[in-house]
Structure 1
């Protein structure tokens, strides 16, 4: 990897870090990102909440345990404490991003999001259909032209497109997709909102 590619990836990573950190503030303030007055927010974080809180508990216990173990080694103790606290904040931040950055059904488009790493805007005229469709996609065997936006290893809505859209991943990779599968806490209501958008 050349210096230019490394710098570009470092910028993308820094932007991602900034988004999940900002999400912590939005979460505390009980606000959402990118949801206007005329928009319908479609939450998807409920399925991942138990795992997120479980990980936070485990990391907090680990932080306390390691602090006792390294109490006699101040430098190592400080380094591990900072790493453990960052890890706890990261897990909370990613969950906060899922809560505060829901999918959005707006007057002219559908935004499909996954935490702070994906924000795909699909214009209304490019959506052919939407339906409830519970799936457990295999991340090791992606389908050509299909974007699986899984939460807790599941998707519950399939959106077929009349024209493909370009999805941009966390590291800037681009893919043309004709089908988008995502998850919603209430998929039936989400599908109804998308169908209403289509008229």
Structure 2
């Protein structure tokens, strides 16, 4: 929900002056706005249906409004927490749930690589950070980095695939900061 405040004032989280922000939220905007619209319509409909029951009306109104703000907050987290290409590291993010920091000296290559990964299959050592069921950048590492999973398990990652709204620009920003011999 803190992302809603950042989104309203048009600020980003964790992007410094020397950093390049790489957005990835554009692909999920239609879904987020569509869900928010459906939940607003549902809120109005339930409000009319429960008008005769003030306690139930208030409870459902609060739950429905929370749902609308939750959907907008999830989208706002994606907008306000972009991937970040900085002088010392690359941060691959997915809203407030993932923030993988990769030191630039560990990156072997970065390239545009459009994929539609299967969410039910995963490769060992490969982290797919898909947005709208697609990834558009593949980053191969010289040395693995450690990523914390959802259940607290730590996983060594040697390849990261993520999505960016403008993948060619993102790859160029990454390559520009890599050492010459990469």
Specify the TM-score bucket, using the shorter chain as the normaliser: over 0.9
TM-score, normalised via structure 2 length = 0.95
Unaligned segments of structure 2, at least 5 residues:
none
More helix by share: 1
In the alignment, the residues of structure 2 paired with residue 121 and residue 105 of structure 1 have an alpha-carbon distance, to the nearest angstrom, of: 10
Is 1:173 the equivalent of 2:160?
A: no
Matched, 1:197 2:177: yes
- What's the counterpart of residue 34 of structure 1? 14
- How far 1:174 sits from its partner (Å)? 2.1
- Aligned positions, number: 179
Do 1:137 and 1:148's aligned partners in 2 also have CA atoms closer than 8 Å? yes
Deviates more, 1:21-30 or 1:102-111: 21-30
**Does 2:128 align with 1:151?**
no
Q: Secondary structure at the match of 2:79?
A: helix
TM-score of the pair, normalised by structure 1: 0.87
Structure 1 residue runs without a partner (length 5+): 1-20
Alignment partner of 2:141 out of 161, 165, 181: 161
Q: Which runs of 4+ in 1 moved over 4 A?
A: none
Indicate the SS of the match to 1:89: helix
RMSD after superposition:
1.0
- 2:87 corresponds to which of 107, 132, 136: 107
Contact 1:134–1:157 (CA under 8 A) maintained in structure 2: yes
Deviation at 1:143, TM superposition (A): 1.3
For residues 151 and 8 of structure 2, the distance between their equivalents in structure 1, rounded to whole angstroms, comes to 28
Is 2:46 aligned against 1:49? no
Distance in 2 (CA, whole Å) between partners of 1:69 and 1:152 is: 35
Question: Is the 8 Å Cα contact of residues 117 and 169 (structure 1) preserved in structure 2?
Answer: no
In the alignment, which residue of structure 1 is the partner of 2:167? 187
